[in-house]
Homo-oligomer: A and B are copies of this chain.
Amino acid sequence: MPADLPLDQILEGDCIELLASLPAESVDLIFADPPYNLQLQNELRRPDNSLVDAVNAHWDRFTSFSEYDAFTRAWLSACRRVLKPEGTLWVIGSYHNIYRVGAILQDLDFWILNDVVWIKSNPMPNFRGVRFTNAHETLLWAQKERGARYTFNHQTMRSINDDLQMRSDWYLPLCVGRERLRSNGVKLHPTQKPAALLYRILAASTRPGDVVLDPFFGTGTTGEAAIRLGRHWIGIEKEPVYIEAARKRLSCVHPDSDGISSSEKPDLRQRIRLPFGTLLEYGYLHPGDILYLGPDSAIQAVITPQGKLAVDGLIGSIHKVASQLQDRQANGWTDWYYYDASDHQRHPIDKLRQQILSSQETESDE
């Protein structure tokens, strides 16, 4: 590691200039959350006529695609220089910018390893009903040089995904509530990312002690994840307000004493756990199917596309719904039954879980 690498600090200024001042091939991972080039023409109002507080920051104003492209090429090239040959890069964006970014990234000889979709559990609806709800953002994960060795902690990802391979669709809520940084009740940054997103990214693609750089540091979510996971970080940001907020925030963050960072090998106990939704993924059950609360009970519930159960107005996990209906702590796996057309009988859904678990044991790659 070069001695002149400014570790664990925020560099104040323009990222393209500051990146040029850093030593080449010195960084293991880059996470970038660049301006999205949103182009809302007019104000937007909800059906109750209240005004939506849209992104309208000066740093997100570009006059044309070509201006945005030039900006994108500049910061991506600067990032490429400081990245180690075996390093990788993440970029997040929406449909407004991600196709520009993706194409330029490929033109600069980055090699895409995955695209990942962050699916929001609570996106803002489309108030006018004129398009589909914009419920996801896209992450690109690319390596600097095609064919180079890169870090991917497969077992760590498995262990935080109920021992299934982590897929390219990630379900995470927006950054709201206590996690969202505010000043006098006003959100500090219009697009603060959830900590869980950065935590997963760093846990997946870095090793302890690695250097993680974020050229659009904002309020420092990347730094927080790095500290918690025992990685070094470098943040670049030019807005003094964000820098101050990030410094204050990061002064209170400490490495996790347990969790992913200290248990990078999967815990054998966790191998038994399997989310109900997996039965849908495997096609054993389908959204819309009916489950019964017991072998003879008339009480029914419908499976939702999200892998929950719905009865009347009640929606929740198999365990929660079973508990509420029976007014006691319940185990959904043994309480809910499905109808098997082949033998005309009801069986507990736990039977399906056992089938998947046993098939995974034999498929296991260890």
- A280-304 Cβ-contact flags toward B at 8 Å (1 or 0): 1111000100000000000000000
- CA of A152 to CA of B104, assembled, Å: 32
- CA of A114 to CA of B185, assembled, Å: 32
B-binding segment of A7-15, A54-62, A124-132: A124-132
Query: In chain B, what residue has the closest Cβ to A269?
Result: B129
- CA of A107 to CA of B69, assembled, Å: 11
Check if A129 sits within 8 Å of B154, measured CB to CB.
Answer: yes
Contacts of A105 in B (CB 8 A): 99
Contacts of A154 in B (CB 8 A): 129-130
Check if A106 sits within 8 Å of B100, measured CB to CB.
Answer: yes
- CA of A133 to CA of B117, assembled, Å: 12
Contacts of A184 in B (CB 8 A): none
A98 at the interface (CB under 8 A from B): yes
Check if B129 sits within 8 Å of A114, measured CB to CB.
Answer: no
B-binding segment of A19-27, A167-175, A332-340: A167-175
Q: Which of A102, A103, A106, A154 has the most CB of B within 10 A?
A: A103
Check if A126 sits within 8 Å of B165, measured CB to CB.
Answer: yes
- A115-146 Cβ-contact flags toward B at 8 Å (1 or 0): 11101011101100111111110101100000
Contact of A283 among B121, B281, B305, B328 (CB under 8 A): B121
Contacts of A168 in B (CB 8 A): 132-136
Check if B122 sits within 8 Å of A283, measured CB to CB.
Answer: yes
Which residues A68-110 have CB closer than 8 A to chain B?
95-96, 98-107
Which residues A20-77 have CB closer than 8 A to chain B?
45, 47-49, 65
Separation in Å of the A141 CB from the closest CB of chain B? 8
A363 at the interface (CB under 8 A from B): yes
A112 at the interface (CB under 8 A from B): yes
Contacts of A309 in B (CB 8 A): none
Contacts of A241 in B (CB 8 A): none
Separation in Å of the A101 CB from the closest CB of chain B? 8
Contacts of A188 in B (CB 8 A): none
- CA of A363 to CA of B328, assembled, Å: 57
Check if B102 sits within 8 Å of A115, measured CB to CB.
Answer: no
Separation in Å of the A35 CB from the closest CB of chain B? 16
- CA of A136 to CA of B171, assembled, Å: 13
A113 at the interface (CB under 8 A from B): yes
A329 at the interface (CB under 8 A from B): yes
Which residues A297-341 have CB closer than 8 A to chain B?
305, 328-329
Check if B102 sits within 8 Å of A173, measured CB to CB.
Answer: no
A166 at the interface (CB under 8 A from B): yes
Instruction: List 6 interface pairs A-B (beta carbons < 8 Å), by A numbering.
Output: A99-B99, A99-B106, A100-B103, A130-B152, A133-B168, A135-B167
Given contacts A48-B328, A65-B106, A122-B283, 6 further A-B contacts (CB under 8 A): A117-B117, A117-B169, A122-B282, A132-B165, A135-B168, A136-B169
